[in-house]
């Protein structure tokens, strides 16, 4: 997942292209460009607004950040940008690309910089003091964004350029940038009457508060629910998990016990290995009930209000539902098309789940467990079936997957495909002592900076994401990107390697794929850089990157145990044979979330009861009862902590269809490390950002639209009756 720079607001007009998407990182260049028009020197009151200086084209001064400074810094930055916007809007000269679009690209740089700090604290250091600032400032930032997009004079200049025949004299990249501004201003309500504009602004401010509240409630439930174990409750747990749980307990002030925290990286292995069924149920319920405890941190009322406000806003903007508005500028153009894609996969996925449950029930019956398989049993008995069917022990696989070695693996892959080299650097400030900074170079030339923040801690969002600090841009003087990857691994005991699961390793490759998308960017304007693309295309490069983990070149070189011994060939063969194992569970839990997301946003202004809507939907879909949504409604931060992935969680499926179709192109033309294919992928996909319609970009790379067949083959599902394609070109 690409992280929003707070999805509740846009930090400047220069990222308005992302009004319907998460505000995400943009990326790098290997060439320089003449510097932009000189800006008058400004004496900033707050250090967070100042230009980044020093090596590597400058870097963020995290060491100067104080939570108490956020409010005055944001207010000062908004005042500065307000003056810039007024100057552009009131320019008496005829609108031109230079005096309007390029001027907007230059505007708001101080707010971009302080916005980076603000978003990093939201995701990684969300203390009560920060949350108090966030609760006050997020609505103000939303109002400021509305002030810009509802500026009639500014919109008239953009519209004049979009309508003008002279625009055709611009480069294709510039023409698309004009369209991006026009489209996003229009979709944000720039053409509405004054009364409707006021109401849209009120909705956006209220939503900003609700998004912050939803995320804060979720963080509270992640930190506040910990299961502490005694020595007699550790049955079945591997030694590495015991050591990590002991360390987690000590960190929480419970030395001498073992802690299972309310994060996926702690919950998942516990449910896989614990012999204690009652404790499995406790841990499962804690995790899947986040935001749904009917207490001060309950998210039910918050999400209901978010849905109603989104529907009202969509209607004001001329759309039947929020889902119709959301997909208006995506690769898939309508909710019907997205639903058709999901429902094409759903029957195969749920049928596989039923077979998986049958296999697991047979194991439980043979063991005399006298149970019916429930959701908290799924991982535990799936692991038993895996061992029986494939003689594959995930615990054994894990001994060959060390966090540091997998980090080295993605570095090596980036070198093979793109020529990148990652070197740790010192002297660059970080926002937490556990963060490491790397310089990225290519052929000895600076490309960008990459920050790694690997460990779980209180105040940090759960899961894994990529976050952008600075976009690539030739227009901004050859500006190079700064990006981070953030994960939530539990620290090992001192002196011990951190062992991760196969799924965790895939996640690292996935999030690093977002970073590679940004680092490979080679565009002129920051609004179009790197991952600043449609939500249902942005996950394509990251999901494609997952495929390199299982290549022999990676496994033979980096999958080693603590003694340095490589993973045995026989074990690799077992992994490959079991590659489609448990895909029913994996696909169904994801697809349930994606279908729910689309359906709940198609429900219009209905007064939705979250639990009842969920139950009724999955009764209608004949959802197997042993599986639940990957993200149940009250913990579904993707869609309720911001607008970014709302009515867009299907994007992971759309992107995975592209991913498997594209990887087969590599296999058809020389293999995963074929230099010609890597260059073609670089030139057609990851370097072009949002300068090209994504469907056009994909068709150029593949020679045709994507087909669903490769995705189904990868999952071991039956082929469709007729070949299906996805993604149509057009603005």
Catalytic residue among 222, 511, 546, 656: 511
**What is the SS3 assignment for 257?**
coil
Residues whose CB falls within 8 Å of the CB of residue 604, separated by 6 or more in sequence, listed in order: 311, 320, 321
- Cα distances from 480 to residues 166, 174, 440, 449, in angstroms, run 31, 20, 10, 8
| 511 catalytically annotated | yes
How many Å separate Cα 288 from the centre of its chain? Answer: 20
**Residues 442, 450: contact at Cβ < 8 Å?**
no
Q: Is 195 exposed, middle or buried (0-12, 13-18, 19+ CB in 10 A)?
A: exposed
How is residue 440 annotated by DSSP? E
Between vectors from CA 728 to CA 702 and to CA 22, what angle results, nearest 5°? 95
Residue 614 CA to residue 628 CA, distance in Å, equals 10
Residue 482 CA to residue 529 CA, distance in Å, equals 12
Q: Is 169 exposed, middle or buried (0-12, 13-18, 19+ CB in 10 A)?
A: exposed
First to last CA, the chain: 24
Residue 614 CA to residue 442 CA, distance in Å, equals 49
Q: Is 54 exposed, middle or buried (0-12, 13-18, 19+ CB in 10 A)?
A: exposed
**Residues 381, 360: contact at Cβ < 8 Å?**
yes
- Cα distances from 273 to residues 127, 180, 287, 521, in angstroms, run 33, 50, 17, 42
Between vectors from CA 123 to CA 538 and to CA 280, what angle results, nearest 5°? 90
**Residues 572, 555: contact at Cβ < 8 Å?**
yes
Residue 469 CA to residue 211 CA, distance in Å, equals 21
Q: Per this entry, what is the length of the chain?
A: 731
**Residues 588, 316: contact at Cβ < 8 Å?**
no
Q: Which residues of 422-459 are buried (b: 16+ CB within 10 A; e: fewer)?
A: beeeeebebbeeebbbbbbbbeeebbbbbbbbbbbeeb
**What is the SS3 assignment for 212?**
helix
- Cα distances from 153 to residues 71, 87, 159, 165, 694, in angstroms, run 29, 11, 10, 20, 31
Known catalytic residues are 511
């Amino acid at each position: 997942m690409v992280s929003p720079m707070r999805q509740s607001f846009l930090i400047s007009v220069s990222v308005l292209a992302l009004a319907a998407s998460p505000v995400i990182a943009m990326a790098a260049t290997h060439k320089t460009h003449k510097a932009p028009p000189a800006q008058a020197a400004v004496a900033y009151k707050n250090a967070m607004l100042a230009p980044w200086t020093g090596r590597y084209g400058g870097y963020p001064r995290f060491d100067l950040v104080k939570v108490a400074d956020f409010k005055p810094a944001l207010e000062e930055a908004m005042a500065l940008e307000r003056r810039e916007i007024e100057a552009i809007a009131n320019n008496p000269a005829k609108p031109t690309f230079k005096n309007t679009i390029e001027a907007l690209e230059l505007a708001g740089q101080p707010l971009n910089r302080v916005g980076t700090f603000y978003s990093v604290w939201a995701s990684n250091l969300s203390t009560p003091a920060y949350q108090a600032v966030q609760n006050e400032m997020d609505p103000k930032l939303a109002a400021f964004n509305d002030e810009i997009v509802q500026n009639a004079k500014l919109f008239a200049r953009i519209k004049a350029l979009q309508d003008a025949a002279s625009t055709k004299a611009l480069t294709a990249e510039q023409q698309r940038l004009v369209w991006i501004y026009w489209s996003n201003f229009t979709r944000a309500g720039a053409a509405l009457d004054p009364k409707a504009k006021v109401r849209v602004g009120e909705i956006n401010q209220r939503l900003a508060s609700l998004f912050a509240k939803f995320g804060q409630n979720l963080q509270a439930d992640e930190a506040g629910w910990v299961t502490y174990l005694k020595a007699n409750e550790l049955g079945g747990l591997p030694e590495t998990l015991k050591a990590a749980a002991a360390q987690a307990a000590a960190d929480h002030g419970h030395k001498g016990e073992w802690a299972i925290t309310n994060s996926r990286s702690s919950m998942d292995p516990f449910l896989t290995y614990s012999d204690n069924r009652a404790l499995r149920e406790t841990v499962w319920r804690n995790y899947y009930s986040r935001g749904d405890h009917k207490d001060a941190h309950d998210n039910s009322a918050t999400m209901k209000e978010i849905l109603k406000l989104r529907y009202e806003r969509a209607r004001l903007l001329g759309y039947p539902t929020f889902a119709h508005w959301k997909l208006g500028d995506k690769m898939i153009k309508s909710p019907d098309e997205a639903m058709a894609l999901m429902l094409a996969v759903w029957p195969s996925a749920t049928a596989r789940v039923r077979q998986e449950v049958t296999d697991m029930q047979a194991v439980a019956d043979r063991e005399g467990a006298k149970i019916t398989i429930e959701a908290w049993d799924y991982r535990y008995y799936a692991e038993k079936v895996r061992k029986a069917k494939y003689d594959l022990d995930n615990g054994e696989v894990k001994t060959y997957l060390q966090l540091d070695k997998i980090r080295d693996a993605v570095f090596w892959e980036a070198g093979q495909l793109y020529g990148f080299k990652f070197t740790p650097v010192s002297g660059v400030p970080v926002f937490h002592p556990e963060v490491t900074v790397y310089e990225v170079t290519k052929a000895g030339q600076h490309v960008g900076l990459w920050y790694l923040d690997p460990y779980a801690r209180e105040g940090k969002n759960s899961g894994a994401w990529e976050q952008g600090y600075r976009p690539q841009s030739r227009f901004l003087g050859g500006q190079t990107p700064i990006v981070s990857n953030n994960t939530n691994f539990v620290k090992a005991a001192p002196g011990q390697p951190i062992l991760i699961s196969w799924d965790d390793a895939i996640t690292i490759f996935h999030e690093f794929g977002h970073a590679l998308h940004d680092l490979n960017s080679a565009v002129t304007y920051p609004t179009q850089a790197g991952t600043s693309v449609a939500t249902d295309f942005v996950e394509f490069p990251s999901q494609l990157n997952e495929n390199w983990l299982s290549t022999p070149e990676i496994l033979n070189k980096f999958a080693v145990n603590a003694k340095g011994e490589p993973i045995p060939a026989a074990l690799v063969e077992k992994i490959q044979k079991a590659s489609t194992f448990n895909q029913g569970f994996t696909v169904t839990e994801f697809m349930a979330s994606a279908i729910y997301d689309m359906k709940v946003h198609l429900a219009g202004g209905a007064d939705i009861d979250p639990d009842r809507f969920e139950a009724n939907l999955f009764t209608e879909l004949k959802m197997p009862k042993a599986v639940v949504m990957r993200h149940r409604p009250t913990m579904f931060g993707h869609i309720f902590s911001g607008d970014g992935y709302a009515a867009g969680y299907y994007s992971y499926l759309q992107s995975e269809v592209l991913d498997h179709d594209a990887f087969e192109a590599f296999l058809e033309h020389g293999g995963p490390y074929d230099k010609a294919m890597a260059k073609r992928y670089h030139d057609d996909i990851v370097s072009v950002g949002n300068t090209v319609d994504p469907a056009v970009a994909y068709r150029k790379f593949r020679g045709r639209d994507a087909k669903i067949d490769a995705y189904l083959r990868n999952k071991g599902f039956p082929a469709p009756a007729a070949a299906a394609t996805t993604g149509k070109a057009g603005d």
